[in-house]
Amino acid sequence: MRIVYLMLAAGMALVMAITWNRVGGMAAGDGAGAVDHTNPPGLAWASNRVRAGGGIAAHGDAGQLFSNDPVRGAVRSGASNWRPVKVSEAHALQAIADGVMSIQAPDGQMIRLRYERHFEHADGNWTWVGREVGAAPGAETVLTFGEKAVFGLIRHGNSDLRLTTEAGSVWLVETDGSGFDASRVAASSRDFLVPDGLPAALASRALGSIQSAAVAGGVELIATPPATQALAWTPTTVDILVGYTAGFADRLGGQSQAQTRLTFLVDLANQAYLRSGLNAQIRLVKTLRVDYPDATSNDAALMALTGVYCEPDPNGNVYVPDWRLGCTTVQRPAALQPLVDARETYGADLLVMVRKFEDPENASCGAAWMLGGQQTPIDAGSSGFGVSVVSDSSGDMFPDNAHTCPELHLAHELGHNMGQQHDVLTARETDDTDGDGNTLDPEEYGAHPDSFSYSTDGTGNDMFTIMSIRRAGQTQYRVFANPSLNTCGNAPCGVVGQADNVRSMGQTMAAVAAFRATQVEFWDVSGDYWAFDAIRRLANADVTQGCGTAPPLYCPDTPVTRDQMAVFLLRGRHGGAYIPPQVATSRFADVPNGFWALSWIEQLAQEGITSGCGMNPLVYCPTASVTRDQMAVFLLRAKYGANYVPPPATGVFADVPLSHWAAPWIEKLAADGITDGCMTAPKAYCPASAVTRDEMAVFLVRTFGL
Mean pLDDT of 36-65: 69
Mean pLDDT of 114-119: 93
CB 46, CB 124: distance < 8 Å: yes
Please tell me the distance from the alpha carbon of residue 290 to that of residue 668, in angstroms, as a whole number: 40
Residue in 451, 197, 439, 421 with CA at minimum distance from that of residue 313 = 197
pLDDT of residue 671: 96
Residue in 55, 89, 76 with CA at minimum distance from that of residue 168 = 55
Higher pLDDT, 358 or 320: 358
Mean pLDDT of 152-170: 92
**Amino acid type, 42:** G
Question: Percent of the chain beyond pLDDT 70?
Answer: 83
pLDDT of residue 163: 97
pLDDT at residue 49 greater than cutoff 70: no
Mean pLDDT of 442-452: 93
pLDDT of residue 455: 95
Query: Mind listing the pLDDT tens digit for each residue in 640-671?
Result: 999 999 999 999 999 999 999 999 999 999 99
pLDDT at residue 212 greater than cutoff 50: no
pLDDT of residue 46: 67
| Residue 220: pLDDT band with limits 50, 70, 90 | very low
Please tell me the distance from the alpha carbon of residue 369 to that of residue 26, in angstroms, as a whole number: 42
pLDDT at residue 266 greater than cutoff 50: yes
Q: Which sign does the torsion angle of CA 339, 342, 343, 346 carry?
A: negative
Query: What does pTM read for this prediction?
Result: 0.82
CB 221, CB 516: distance < 8 Å: yes
pLDDT at residue 397 greater than cutoff 70: yes
| Residue 512: pLDDT band with limits 50, 70, 90 | very high
Mean pLDDT of 353-369: 95
Q: Where are the domains of the chain?
A: 39-179, 192-512, 628-706
pLDDT at residue 221 greater than cutoff 50: no
> Range with the lowest mean pLDDT among 91-100, 140-149, 479-488, 527-536?
527-536
Mean pLDDT, all residues of the chain = 85
Which residues have C-beta within 8 Å of that of residue 197, sequence separation ≥ 6? 322, 323, 324, 325
Higher pLDDT, 502 or 194: 502
What dotted CATH number matches 192-512? 3.40.390.10
